[in-house]
Amino acid sequence: PKRWLIVPAAGIGRRMQAECPKQYLRIQSRFILDITLSRLLDSVAFDGCMVSLNPSDQWWVSTEASADERISTCLGGHERSDSVLAALQALSERASPDDWVLVHDAARPCVHPADLERLITVLADHPVGGLLAAPVSDTLKRGTGSDVPEVAETVDRRGLWRALTPQMFRYGLLTEALQSAGREQHPVTDESSALEFFGKMPVLVEGRTDNIKVTVPADLELAGFLLSRS
């Protein structure tokens, strides 16, 4: 099977309160999206890479990636899952149902090559696929919905994982699962949840906890520190 990379980068990053989407903030003078893409594409071989962009994107033209002939772009959608589906459709003439698709958040620049290789190796013969994930280490509380929340209960954290990316699935199954979730208006915040909703059981592959998603301003400094060491 072939191996494809999809990087949804069509989000507007409201939680970052910055003047541009988070994937276009800079770390050590490079765009986060450029760091993410070069770490992935320089680690393992892909048959193609599709990046979903926002229709009103004004930054892509200034990236290093826009001059990289390994990378194609398509227009993303309203939700992250729409942006992934648009990228899958843009690959449809080149991809087969059994091919692998790795989906990785544009805003996770600290992804480690060893994690990427392990994900690919562990899932190699699997019929569905799986995702990088990390066991939860904090004690989890469910809060009451009030303005000053109180603890309603402590949630048993045994067996709980945080979903990371990349997530790697068979092209055909991922496409069908995302389409089905869309039709049924099932909320999908990662690819795995679409597959689960479709009745499949993705594999959890333990990944490094420093594969953070840059979401709030403090994450930017942390990502800079993590990248300076690796």
Q: Which stretches of the chain bind ligand C5P, using CB under 6 A?
A: 8-11, 23, 52, 76-80, 83, 105-107, 213, 215
Q: Which is nearer to ligand C5P, 83 or 193 (CB)?
A: 83
Residues making up the chain, counted from first to last = 230
Q: Which is nearer to ligand C5P, 112 or 126 (CB)?
A: 112
Q: Least CB distance from residue 107 to ligand C5P, whole Å? A: 5
Residues near 61 by Cβ (< 8 Å), separated by ≥ 6?
A: none
141: amino acid identity, one letter: K
Contacts of 219-223 with CB under 8 Å at 24 or more apart are: 220/25, 220/27, 223/27, 223/32, 223/109, 223/110
Q: Which is nearer to ligand C5P, 79 or 176 (CB)?
A: 79
Max intra-chain CA distance, the chain:
53
Q: Least CB distance from residue 79 to ligand C5P, whole Å? A: 5
Q: Which is nearer to ligand C5P, 122 or 215 (CB)?
A: 215
Q: Which is nearer to ligand C5P, 58 or 121 (CB)?
A: 58
Query: For residue 166, is the peptide bond before it cis, meaning its omega torsion is within 30 degrees of 0?
Result: yes
Q: Which is nearer to ligand C5P, 20 or 122 (CB)?
A: 20
Q: What does the CA dihedral 81, 202, 135, 154 come to, rounded to 10 degrees?
A: 80
Q: Least CB distance from residue 36 to ligand C5P, whole Å? A: 8
Q: Least CB distance from residue 205 to ligand C5P, whole Å? A: 19
Residues near 84 by Cβ (< 8 Å), separated by ≥ 6?
A: 6, 8, 52, 103, 174, 178, 191
Q: Least CB distance from residue 127 to ligand C5P, whole Å? A: 26
Q: How far is CA 224 from CA 40, 108, 218, 221, in A?
A: 17, 12, 10, 5
Q: Least CB distance from residue 10 to ligand C5P, whole Å? A: 3
